[in-house]
């Protein structure tokens, strides 16, 4: 049995302020640090061990991963950071408070940008666009390692992980848009006989 664990970073400073973050690089809040620690403890209870760590190039994902590894006492792990795993680029929405964006463009338009699969905000990415950079990277760099029996930890972002969950769970665009991926909550899959199955948290 091989394991893949996906973790969305802990709460960031911009999450707390309700800002569109995208590729900007705010740090973790105290709550975010605690979420990362709780994730580490939860994975330690399950006695998961990992051979490879993949993160985006953004500090909130890297810091979350480092906290988890520290709690798991994993020092010898092959680590890769790549912008392919970055959060969705929110373009002109980046840095705006979500309530202010609704006032500027209207609630319905902002909802379309946030919750449609293939309509990007101005100068930004849709979830479809995000998937088109995340999935080729996953299939080329990560999936072969899983097939060869390596346990993998990925620390990334709500939408880059949504793209992975959509692929792994074979969800439709409509189904993935309904799925919430909370900060600091691990999702672990067992890989066996060429398919993934989510392991429910105890």
Q: Is 9 a catalytic residue?
A: yes
51: helix, strand or coil: coil
Residue 153 φ then ψ, to 5°: -115, 130
Angle, to 10 degrees, between the axis of helix 158-168 and the axis of helix 127-137? 70
Does 22 fall in a domain? yes
Does 101 fall in a domain? no
User: Considering only CA atoms, which of 39, 52, 75, 16 is closest in space to residue 147?
Assistant: 52
Q: Please, which residues bridge with residue 199 across strands?
A: 188
Cα 56 to Cα 157: distance, rounded to the nearest angstrom: 8
Range of the domain at 172: 2-89+126-199
Q: Is 157 a catalytic residue?
A: no
Give the domain CATH number at 151.
Answer: 3.40.50.1240
User: Considering only CA atoms, which of 198, 201, 121, 202 is closest in space to residue 159?
Assistant: 121
Does 65 fall in a domain? yes
Catalytic residue among 16, 45, 47, 87: 87
pLDDT by 10s per residue, the chain, length 202: 899 999 999 999 999 999 999 999 999 999 999 999 999 999 999 999 999 999 999 999 999 999 999 999 998 999 999 999 999 999 999 999 999 999 999 999 999 999 899 999 999 999 999 999 999 999 999 999 999 999 999 999 999 999 999 999 999 999 998 888 999 889 999 999 889 999 975 4
Does 40 fall in a domain? yes
Does 25 fall in a domain? yes
Structural domain count of the chain: 1
Catalytic residue among 9, 35, 125, 157: 9
């Amino acid at each position: 049995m091989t394991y893949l664990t996906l973790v969305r970073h802990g709460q960031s400073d911009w999450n707390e302020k309700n800002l569109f973050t995208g590729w900007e690089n705010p740090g973790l809040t105290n709550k975010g640090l605690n979420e990362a620690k709780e994730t580490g403890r939860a994975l330690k209870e399950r006695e998961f061990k990992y051979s490879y760590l993949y993160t985006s190039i953004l500090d909130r994902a890297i810091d979350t991963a480092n906290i988890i590894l520290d709690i798991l006492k994993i020092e010898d792990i092959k680590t890769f950071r790549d912008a392919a795993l970055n959060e969705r680029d929110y373009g002109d929405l980046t840095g705006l408070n979500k309530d202010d964006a609704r006032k500027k463009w209207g609630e319905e338009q902002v909802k379309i940008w946030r919750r449609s699969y293939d309509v990007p905000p101005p100068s930004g990415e849709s979830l479809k666009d995000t998937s088109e950079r995340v999935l080729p990277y996953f299939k080329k760099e990560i999936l072969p390692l899983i097939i060869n029996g390596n346990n993998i930890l990925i620390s990334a972002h709500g939408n880059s992980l949504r793209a992975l969950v959509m692929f792994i769970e074979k969800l439709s665009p409509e189904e993935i848009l309904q799925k919430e991926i909370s900060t600091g909550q691990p999702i672990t899959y067992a890989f066996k006989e060429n398919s993934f199955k989510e392991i429910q948290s105890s």
